[in-house]
Structure 1
Amino acid sequence: MRYEARQSGAAQTGARADRKPKETQMGYKVVVAGATGNVGREMLNILAEREFPVDEIAVLASRKSLGTEVSFGDKTLKTQDLDTFDFTGWDMALFAVGSEPTKKYAPKAAAAGCVVIDNSSLYRYDPDVPLVVPEVNADAVLGYSKKNIIANPNCSTAQMVVALKPLHDRAKIKRVVVSTYQSVSGAGKEGMDELWDQTKAVYNPVSEVPPKKFQKQIAFNVIPHIDVFMEDGSTKEEWKMVAETKKIVDPSIKVTATCVRVPVFVGHAESINIETEDFLDEDEARDILREAPGIMVIDKREAGGYATPVECVGDYATFVSRIRQDSTIENGLNLWCVSDNLRKGAALNAVQIAEALGQKVLKKG
């Protein structure tokens, strides 16, 4: 079953009703760096799906992937060398290359006048770089000019703040307790391959596949460890959710997270417990979320009346289910939240940032 998310003004550049006829519309010169990876390919798919106004597009990769062909709509493009590419004259570059290459190439692109929309963690906590989820804080793109860079949040944070923001606007969230169930695609192709190979090996006892990408066997298992451990016992993934929620939504919100890798190929799930300053009835919360941008509520109190990662794959929406009162505290709610982490958690959010940048700043499309 497929569902469509309600889109916010910042997120609906691709909506035909709001667009000029294609033949009269000015477009952008767009770069996708890291075009051969999972997120880079998804960026190209979503740019095409949403009919982002592109006059010219360049797809970049490292030298080992040079010349690899990737699809953009009905076109086939050959990758160019990220190391030698000249960003002069290009409007925006969507980066999906990881923190180390970003550190080298993003300033180069920014200095050439090309606005970088970065999917890595490198700039997320830089006070001079806006961290943007368009359904939540689209106006933050206006702060891009300090470094000519806009940051895309962590995948687990992105879907959570889409659900938190409309409830925060109504009842002011004080505290969030979240447990994540994160798919292996969040660890890239190597993570997906490891789950696939280990799953096959379970049924073939003579073939053993020891953990490489993950710390323990991921097939038929769950691992409460994503990224490195920090001094206070939390992992960096958990710290990211805390820091990014504060930067995107409200620095006064207290967040505690437990992030877990699960044997699912695509789609992150989250169990979210919220404490608010003002009482918020579960029925009102459900109505608020139904009207909120980017959210689809699937919440029937019956077998199968909720969303799971399988249903969210390939969809734009952040799905919210299991909305119910928490009777253990005065003003508490519980939610179940799922989303395609390669889309809303990465590629879709980056494209939505590009749309917001186009609407609010560059204004060609």
Structure 2
Amino acid sequence: MTGTRSAPAPALAVVGATGAVGSVVLRILSQRADVWGDIRLIASPRSAGRMVAVRGLETEVLALSEDAFDGLGAGDVALFLTPPGVSAQWAPAVTARGAVAVDQSAAFREDPEVPVVVPEVNGHAVRVRPRGIVAGPDCVTATMIAALGALHADYGLADLAVSSYQAASAAGRAGTQALRRQLSLVAGTSLGEQPGDVRRVVGEDTGPFAAPLALNVVPWSGELREGGWSSHELAVRSQTRRILELPELPIAVTCVQVPVLEGHSLTVRARFEREVDAGQARKTLETAPGVVLVDDPAAGEFPTPVDAAGTDPAWVGRVRASLDDDRALEFFVCADNLRKGAALNATQIAELIAGEFA
């Protein structure tokens, strides 16, 4: 009697395994179905040699080098949870071996030959990857896109305006450390008696933010671009268009940093091609993959970043019809920016790729 031998489980390399997002990826791997064979952890030379638990096994962290990718081939995947320059340099080392690179940085998001993928919305796009690279969106786009994708499928999105309220952890450990440091400086200090009290107490050490974040709201994220837009605002605009396959979609974006450690939030005004009923829209959102609807303001039930932290879905609430336009809908959405906004999305993309070779 002859049988068919199943293919070996694909290997997974996690590049940036000891960073803020990498640490979340390792937790996620222990919580999801085990589709991987060899899991190798790769980080900067200063982290090499550390032992890190993955699925209950102590695994040594390898230094990022050509040798770290030896043995990877067709069907294998490398997650890049690294700054853009690192991804741009090392992703080709993965694709040259026949494996697929899944990059969570901005290095390839504008490349027309690299799909930008959110599995709940455009998972099909992962199959067409001329360069052998798939990109995940930034954490702001990822927070809102599952809800928008579901509504777009029902009503046809025609116009979008969003404001983000971004957590400090979007800037990595440097962001959370800066906020904690600033909060400790202002705690117990008499503030508000003189203009600029918070700036005086915090001083010049604003960390990765354009202004003190403690007890403050900073309407800036990214680098200055033409017309007063920030690079982050233009990135949200571009990625939303690509994921929804609406290259001409009018989008207005304002990115704001708020003194929250973890969890991005957005206010969204979406205008559609057809008249939209808020009750029907809620039903759409209730069944949308990757979305949880929490929407009963009379009972004090609406989503907040505290609720979303440590969870997988995007939490949506305050769903209401526009007072001025029967084709417009307004809502609030929040999600864990490290998990839903980065680590989980990258892991889901990798699993889709692994499924092609199962």
TM-score by length of 2: 0.91
Contact 1:41-1:70 within 8 A present in 2 as well: no
Aligned to 2:14: 32
User: Of residues 135, 150, 163 in structure 2, which corresponds to 1:151?
Assistant: 135
Gaps of 5+ in 1: 1-23
Match among 33, 44, 48 for residue 62 of structure 1: 44
CA drift at 1:43 = 1.0
Confirm or deny that 1:105 pairs with 2:90: yes
Point out the more displaced range, 302-311 or 199-208.
199-208
Q: Which residue of 2 aligns with 1:17?
A: none
Q: How far did 1:26 drift? A: 4.6
Q: Deviations over 1:52-92 (max 9, x none)?
A: 31211110011122122322121222210112434243210
- Counterparts of 1:152-301 in structure 2, within 5 Å, are 152-203=136-187, 208=202, 210-249=205-244, 250-301=246-297
RMSD: 1.6
* Structure 1 equivalent of residue 197 of structure 2: none
- Inter-partner Cα distance in structure 1 for 2:97 and 2:68: 8
The one-letter amino acid of 1:63's match is P
Asked if structure 2 preserves the Cα contact closer than 8 Å seen for 1:89 and 1:113, the reply is: no
Provide the C-alpha distance between the structure 1 equivalents of 2:281 and 2:233, rounded to a whole number of angstroms.
Answer: 26
1:137–1:248 CA contact under 8 A, matched in 2: yes
Change (3 A) 1:276 1:207: closer
Match of 1:318 in 2: 314
Residue 316 of structure 1: SS of its match in structure 2?
A: coil
d(CA) in 2 for partners of 1:154 and 1:184? 14
**Secondary structure of the equivalent of 1:232?**
helix
- Tell whether the 8 Å contact from 1:42 to 1:342 is kept in structure 2 after alignment: yes
Mapped partners of 1:73, 1:314: distance in 2: 18
Query: What is the one-letter code of the residue matched to 2:293?
Result: V
Tell me how far apart the structure 2 counterparts of residues 348 and 306 of structure 1 sit (CA, whole Å).
23
Partner secondary structure for residue 112 of structure 1: coil
Q: What is the CA–CA distance in structure 2 between the aligned matches of 1:192 and 1:69, rounded to whole Å? A: 24
Which runs of 4 or more aligned residues in structure 1 lie more than 4 Å from their structure 2 counterparts after TM superposition? Answer: 204-209
**Residue of structure 2 in register with 1:72 after alignment:** 54
Amino acid at match of 1:235: S
- Give the structure-1-normalised TM-score: 0.89
- SS for the counterpart of 2:281 is helix
Unaligned runs of 5+ in 2: 1-5, 190-199
Q: Which one has the largest radius of gyration?
A: 2
Matched letter for residue 51 of structure 2:
E
1:212 CA drift (Å): 2.6
Q: Secondary structure at the match of 2:128?
A: helix
Distance 1:213 1:237 in 2: 14
1:233, distance to aligned residue in structure 2 (A): 0.9
Q: Is the 8 A contact 1:88 1:114 kept in 2?
A: no
Give the Cα separation in 2 of the matches to 1:87 and 1:262: 39
Are the aligned partners of 1:45 and 1:71 in contact in 2 as well (CA < 8 Å)?
no
Displacement after TM superposition at 1:166 (Å): 1.2
Please say which of residues 153-162 and 204-213 is displaced more in the overlay.
204-213
Deviations, residues 256-311 of structure 1 (Å, cap 9, x unaligned)? 10000110011000000011110010000000010111110000122531010001
Q: Cα distance 1:190–1:281, how it changes in 2: closer, same or farther (>3 A)?
A: same
Aligned to 1:96: 81
Of 105, 116, 131, the match for 1:131: 116
Establish whether residue 333 from structure 1 lines up as the match of residue 291 from structure 2: no
Aligned residue for 2:67, secondary structure, equals coil
